[in-house]
Structure 1
């Protein structure tokens, strides 16, 4: 028996550092998905036009909306993947428990969200550059450097929060699936079946209000509180559920 006491902080540092190196493939997947989203964005995310007898004007709107959406899907998927048995068994190379395992996963996902949010916002400039070189014409907002920097930081922060919310949802879904395989079928059936039934019964406003609760929040402070509380509840639920699993299940 060893008399050496391993602290939770030391274990977390080792596991977090290990996961950043061992799971670097997820960041290459992020690059691939974001490049794919950039290609989809080159036709614009919207357009409008008008014409007269001799003039026809067409305006295309370009943004990183597709990139943000693909990055949110990426966050959902990687959160599910790291709950699988193969990834959980990696932690048994350390002196660990359920708490340190879940907390190190949380730190890794938080880091991934920040990286995903940053690269998603940077992709907007990539879209503009590519559009300029191919079309030769591009109109951008004339804002000051300070204002542009503030918008970039705010955009990165909000995008990272959206991705983090998707990660929280994916983490609890992955945990449920690991507890019992029936949730592989049950979760999609309940989600899509619920949406279908609400739509058929004429209660689609419930769905609208549900998604609008977070995605249509105009106050950045309220938005931050809503996302952090919702994500915290989802992760806390996943942590509690994982304690019901056997040691090496």
Structure 2
């Protein structure tokens, strides 16, 4: 009789594959959320117009901004779902520990972020096609892989990082809720209350925080910031998971 010892990487791989199958339905939710964002985007995200005696011109702007917003919401909710008690109990089907479980969860959320961020950007081109055939567009200005490949890939990469950030926030939120249900009410109240308080008492504190995360113009620094913040949130959530009761 021999004992087979599984390494941490082997356990993580098995759990990761299991989570891809178990949460495959979440990608159907992603498609629904992005379709919803697409519908909200059909009216355009802005526009301007001018006219003279002989002609009239109206310019409309179409973008995937609403699709990205709905994708961020999906990522946040999916990350919370993966921390639910039923999902955690599934990990006991494997010879695992909290470390392997959290690593597998993080890998799944990274995968979900790549899929969600990429599809959100690509939906912008679908929006333009729909608009072209359903409205009276006489001239369109396009940008994409063939026109501006660098900007195209930067846009996809930045969106993936934003989705990952919201996934990590949702993962931390979910872990806190699993520790104590009071956080369901407490955290939103603290966030909204702090935002209002800082906005009233010191408006100068909100803008630097917002700019630090969302207005970085150098992509390499933006990458480091998002990965750093997301990594800290995942690590914090992993530390909190050690406080949870062990299944009997």
Partner of residue 63, structure 2: 63
Cα offset for 1:69?
A: 1.1
Distance 1:80 1:120 in 2: 21
Q: How many residues align?
A: 247
Cα offset for 1:136?
A: 4.2
Unaligned runs of 5+ in 1: none
Say if 1:128 and 1:231 are closer, same or farther in 2 by CA, change over 3 A.
same
CA displacement 1:48-107 (0-9 Å, x = unmatched): 112334533221101111111111111111111111101111111111100010000000
Distance 1:5 1:198 in 2: 53
Equivalent runs, 1:31-70 vs 2, <5 Å? 31-70=31-70
2:173 is equivalent to residue 173 of structure 1: yes
SS of equivalent residue, structure 1 residue 130:
helix
Partner of residue 221, structure 2: 222
Distance 1:240 1:76 in 2: 19
Q: Which moved more, 1:48-57 or 1:31-40?
A: 48-57
Cα offset for 1:205?
A: 2.2
Cα offset for 1:154?
A: 1.6
For the 8 Å contact 2:83–2:174, the answer to whether it is kept is yes
Distance 1:73 1:170 in 2: 9
Cα offset for 1:200?
A: 2.4
Cα offset for 1:188?
A: 0.5
Distance 2:23 2:145 in 1: 39
Distance 1:222 1:141 in 2: 28
Distance 1:244 1:5 in 2: 26
Cα offset for 1:140?
A: 1.8
RMSD value, Cα: 1.8
For the 8 Å contact 2:145–2:152, the answer to whether it is kept is no
Cα offset for 1:121?
A: 1.1
TM-score, normalised to structure 1's length?
A: 0.94
Say if 1:142 and 1:198 are closer, same or farther in 2 by CA, change over 3 A.
closer
Partner of residue 238, structure 1: 237
Say if 1:59 and 1:156 are closer, same or farther in 2 by CA, change over 3 A.
same
